């Protein structure tokens, strides 16, 4: 069933959502409004976020030549979240203010990780992952600190948002996010052949005519930008960038010219699917989609870590 969703486009994912919706609330006269005012923007958001995060994971895996790299695991998402929370606490509006703060946070963490891992060869996978885990732990502590300092009505919102919540959007927000992300998708697709060559090592890529520095900087900044944009809209949705590229690589092989579009479609479908689970599984209310993605993703990460250590 999952393959069916990811192989198709996001629209087939939307159909699944509609079907599950129709079963739950049939013969409701408000149905149309609910679908178009609440559900559709939400599905659109899930698809965009899923696509951006999968693509983010794919790019990080290529640039760091590490199949376990992912913005969430490396703490990039955590950095954006810190920036975003500070933005929220300072009372900025969601679009320019909070997003820019999140972008600043993610760039700061990105630089930190690059500095920490540049001493050793990047091929040392465990060193990179360890530094990422520590950065992540640190970010989590800062987030907790910020949350514990907050004592008004914003608290519940922040916590729910942090766990990866897709429910707080309307069509306008989803539209803005789409306008931000789509150019990023295209830009990354532009560099997909360079990413293939980078997987063969920096020296090989360079002698095949790739401008390594330019490509690396553009891709890392674009990816951090995408990730921080998604974080500022729906918090920490983890492990999407790990699960989706891995599954797609099993199906399509490692060629990025195929994987980039596949990640946009498959990642979108995957998060829509997780969001459906998050809405359908609890008897009352709903849970954030980030809970589902982490429940699926973390065990897979452990499995992959064991496999690559072989």
Partner 1 sequence: MAIHVKNLNYYYGDFPALKNVTFSVATGNFFIIIGPNGSGKTTLLKVMAGILKSQTDQLEILNRSVDHYSRKALARTIAFVPQMIPVDFPFSVTEIVLMGRSPYLGILGLEQEKDLEIAKQALTFTGVEHLAHRKLDQLSGGEQQRVFVAKAICQEPEIILLDEPTASLDLAHQVRLMDLMEKLKNERGITVVMVSHDVNLAAMYGDQLLLLNKGEIIRLGNPKEVLTFQTLEEVYGCTLLVDESPLGNSPRVTPVPRKYMT
54 touching partner 1, by CB under 8 A? no
119 touching partner 1, by CB under 8 A? no
Tokens of 49: 């976020």
123 touching partner 1, by CB under 8 A? yes
261 touching partner 1, by CB under 8 A? no
- Rounded Cα distance, 83 and 104, in Å: 7
255 touching partner 1, by CB under 8 A? yes
CB of 284 to partner 1, least distance (A): 45
201 touching partner 1, by CB under 8 A? yes
Binding range to partner 1, per CB under 8 A, among 12-20, 200-208, 219-227, 292-300: 200-208
Contact 292, 277 (CB under 8 A): yes
Length of the chain counted residue by residue: 310
CB of 66 to partner 1, least distance (A): 8
Residue indicated by tokens 């955590």? 78
How many residues form the binding site for partner 1 (CB under 8 A)?
Answer: 27
- Across 223-255, b (16+ Cβ under 10 Å) vs e yields bbbbbbbbbbbbbbbbbbbbbbbbbbbeeeeee
Kindly give, in sequence order, each residue whose CB lies less than 8 Å from that of residue 160, ignoring residues fewer than 6 positions away: 235, 288
Choose, by CB under 8 A, the member of 141, 257, 281, 295 that binds partner 1.
Answer: 257
Choose, by CB under 8 A, the member of 193, 287, 300, 305 that binds partner 1.
Answer: 193
Choose, by CB under 8 A, the member of 19, 37, 93, 211 that binds partner 1.
Answer: 211
Choose, by CB under 8 A, the member of 42, 246, 249, 279 that binds partner 1.
Answer: 249
- Across 11-34, b (16+ Cβ under 10 Å) vs e yields eebbebbeeebeeeeeeeeeeeee
Question: Where on the chain is the footprint of partner 1 (CB under 8 A)?
Answer: 65-67, 123, 190, 192-194, 196-197, 199-201, 203-204, 206-211, 249, 253-255, 257, 308
């Amino acid at each position: 069933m999952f393959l069916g969703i990811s192989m198709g486009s996001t629209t087939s994912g939307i159909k699944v959502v509609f079907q599950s919706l129709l079963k739950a609330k049939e013969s409701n006269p408000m149905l149309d409004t609910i679908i178009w005012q609440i559900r559709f923007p939400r599905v659109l958001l899930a698809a965009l976020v899923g696509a951006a995060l999968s693509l983010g994971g794919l790019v990080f895996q290529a640039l760091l030549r590490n199949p376990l790299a992912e913005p969430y695991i490396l703490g990039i998402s955590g950095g954006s979240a810190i920036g975003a929370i500070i933005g929220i606490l300072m009372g900025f509006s969601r679009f320019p203010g909070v997003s820019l703060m999140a972008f600043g946070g993610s760039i700061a963490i990105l630089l930190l990780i690059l500095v920490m891992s540049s001493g050793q060869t990047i091929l040392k996978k465990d060193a990179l992952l360890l530094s990422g885990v520590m950065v992540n732990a640190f970010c989590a502590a800062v987030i907790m600190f910020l949350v514990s300092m907050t004592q008004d009505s914003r608290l519940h919102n922040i916590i729910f948002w942090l766990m990866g919540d897709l429910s707080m959007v309307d069509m306008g927000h989803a539209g803005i996010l789409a306008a931000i992300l789509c150019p990023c998708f295209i830009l990354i697709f532009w560099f997909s052949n360079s990413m293939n060559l980078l997987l063969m090592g920096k020296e090989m890529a360079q002698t095949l005519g790739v401008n390594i520095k330019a490509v690396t900087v553009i891709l890392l900044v674009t990816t951090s930008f995408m990730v921080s944009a998604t974080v500022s809209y729906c918090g920490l949705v983890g492990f999407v960038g790990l699960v989706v590229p891995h599954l797609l690589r099993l199906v399509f092989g490692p060629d990025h010219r195929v994987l980039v579009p596949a990640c946009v479609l498959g990642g979108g479908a995957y998060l829509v699917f997780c969001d459906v689970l998050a809405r359908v599984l609890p008897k009352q209310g709903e849970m954030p989609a980030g809970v589902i993605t982490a429940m699926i993703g973390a065990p897979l990460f452990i499995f992959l870590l064991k496999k690559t250590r072989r």
